[in-house]
Amino acid sequence: MCDHLVHSDCLAQVGRELNSDGKRYGVGGLGPRAGCPVCEKPVSMWYSYNNACEFKGFWTQRIENALKELGSADVGRVSGKLLRSKLKEDRQLTKKQKQMISINRQSGFYTCLKEGGRVNYNHAGAIFAGFLFSRGKWEYDSNDDTVWLWEWGFQTQSSRCAYCCHQRPGLTVCADCKDSSEAPMYCSEECQKSDKRSHSDNCGVFQIMKLGQEQGCTGEELLKRLRERSR
C-alpha cells in the first residue's frame, strides 16, 4: 500500500470518478479514491497533478531513479547539487514542480530528501520508538548535502560495529531487522553473538510491528503479539 498523503477536498472530487482500470477503490468513510499519479497504486492523492509535488510521496521514486543514474557503490555519495540538477532535466515536470526542487525546508522535495523514503512502523495504539522507522531508500546528510542510496551497501563512512565500536570495512547488518533505521552492524560473528542479549528485544519488536503493519493489524492485535513475545 502506498503511503502518500491525502487532500480531503480533492479526494471528494476524485472519488466520484473511475480509475483507469474502471474500478473504484474504497477508503473507509471517505468513499472511493483514484490511482496515485506517482506509483499508480489505488491511493488518495491531490487531484491536481501539479500540486502533487507538495507531498513528499511525489518525489520518492524520482529521487531514487536519479540516484541510480548518477551514482554507484564505487562512485560514493552523490552531491545534492548534482541530484537537484538531474531532476530539473526531467521534461515531465512542470515549471512549478521544478521550482519545488530546492533545499527549502518547507518544500515537499526537501522533506522527502531528508526522510529518505522511510516507513513508520509505529502504532499509536501499541508502541512508539525511533527504531520502528524503516531505513528507507537513501540517507541524506544535510551537513555536506550528499546522498547515499542504501542499495549500494549498508555500510557508510561513519558505520561502526555496534558491540566493539570499531570502524572497519566489511561490517554486516543484522539480517532480521536490516530494514530498521537503527539496525546494528557488526565486524564479526563474535561481536554479534555478544550483542544478542541487548539487541534481541528491539529486533523482535521491529519484526512484529513491520509484519503487523503489512498485514493491517489493529493496535489491539499488535499489543497482543508484543505481550506474547515478552512472556
For residue 140, CA distances in Å to 74, 111, 112, 147 come to 18, 11, 10, 5
For residue 133, the cross-strand partners are: 120
User: What are the cell numbers at 165?
Assistant: 565500536
6-42 residue pLDDT tens: 444 444 444 444 445 555 444 433 334 445 444 455 5
36-59 residue pLDDT tens: 444 455 544 443 455 677 778 789
Lowest mean pLDDT among 140-144, 163-167, 193-197, 214-218: 214-218
C-beta neighbour count of 148 within 10 angstroms: 22
Taking the C-alpha atoms of residue 96 and residue 107, their distance in angstroms, rounded to an integer, is 12
Mean pLDDT of the chain: 80
pTM above 0.75, yes or no: no
Q: Which residues neighbour 147 within 8 Å (Cβ) at sequence distance 6 or greater?
A: 63, 67, 77, 78, 80, 83, 113, 138, 139, 140, 141
Region of residue 165 (left: phi > 0; alpha: psi -120 to 50; beta: else) = left
Beta strands across the sheet bearing 138-141: 78-79, 146-149, 138-141
129-139 residue pLDDT tens: 899 999 999 99
Sign of the CA dihedral 197, 231, 208, 222?
negative
